[in-house]
Chains A and B, each alone.
Chain A
Amino acid sequence: ETAVFQTPNYHVTQVGNEVSFNCKQTLGHDTMYWYKQDSKKLLKIMFSYNNKQLIVNETVPRRFSPQSSDKAHLNLRIKSVEPEDSAVYLCASSSRDPHNYAEQFFGPGTRLTVL
C-alpha cells in the first residue's frame, strides 16, 4: 500500500515531557512536511524537508525539531511539551515541484493532548 503513515494515532502526556512522532511515506516522494492543526482546524506548516534541506517556519518554537533518516521518513520531536502544543500533527509528502503544483498527500495525523 502506498500512502503516508503516522504513529501513534493518539498521545497523552504531561507538561514538560518529551514526545516523538513518526512519519513514513511509501509514495516515492522527496519532500515531506509537518503541519500543526489546532482545535479550530487551522493548518499551519511547521517544517518542510527536501533532499536533506530543512526549511523551518520561523514561528515554530525551538523545542520542536524534525528528524530525518532518509527521504521516506520524517519524525517530529518535542522537548518539554507545553499545554499549547495540544493539537493534531499532520505529516504530508509531495514530489518536488518549484511551482507548487504538486499535490500533498497527508497521513491520518497524531492527536497530542498535554495535561
Chain B
Amino acid sequence: SQLAEENPWALSVHEGESVTVNCSYKTSITALQWYRQKSGEGPAQLILIRSNEREKRNGRLRATLDTSSQSSSLSITATRCEDTAVYFCASSSSFSKLVFGQGTSLSVVP
C-alpha cells in the first residue's frame, strides 16, 4: 500500500473558486512536500513544510501539517485555468527516499 495518499482522486472547480487537496501519510516524517505536475511536464515543487511547522504559504497556496493525525492539506485560493494539473504530496524522512502519493487530478474550468 502507498505510504502517502491524496484525496480526492480527482476534482473540478470553476475559475476563481478555492479548492483543497488532502494528504495522509503513514510514516514518521521530517517534512512533507507538495508538487504539481502539468500535462507533458515533470513535477515541480510548490511548498515544503517541515515536521515542526503547522502552516506554510506561497502566494495563493497554503499548506498545513498535522503530525498527530499524519495528514496535510494544500489549499489554492482564486484558482486559475493554469492551476489545472495533478497535485502530489510526498513524504520525507531522514536517510530515506521521497515517497509520492498517487496524486489528485485538479481541473479548473472557466
Contacts and interface: CB of A to CB of B under 8 A. Distances in A.
B24 interface: no
B94 A99 contact: yes
A-B pairs, top 8 by smallest CB distance, nearest first, are: A106-B42, A100-B92, A43-B100, A103-B45, A99-B30, A41-B103, A42-B102, A106-B43
Interface in A93-109: 98-101, 103-109
Interface residues of B, number: 26
Given A98-B94, A98-B95, A92 B86 contact: no
Interface in A58-115: 90, 92, 98-101, 103-109
Interface of A: 4, 40-45, 48, 55, 57, 90, 92, 98-101, 103-109
5 contacts: A40-B102, A41-B86, A42-B100, A44-B100, A101-B31
Contact of A100 (B43, B44, B88, B94): B94
Contacts, number: 61
Nearest to B91: A100
Interface of B: 2, 30-31, 33, 37, 40-45, 48, 50, 86, 88, 92-98, 100, 102-103, 105
B45 A101 contact: no
Majority-rule SS of A interface residues: loop
A92 B98 CA distance: 12
Contacts of B45: 103-104
B41 A108 contact: yes
B43 A43 contact: yes
A4 B94 CA distance: 24
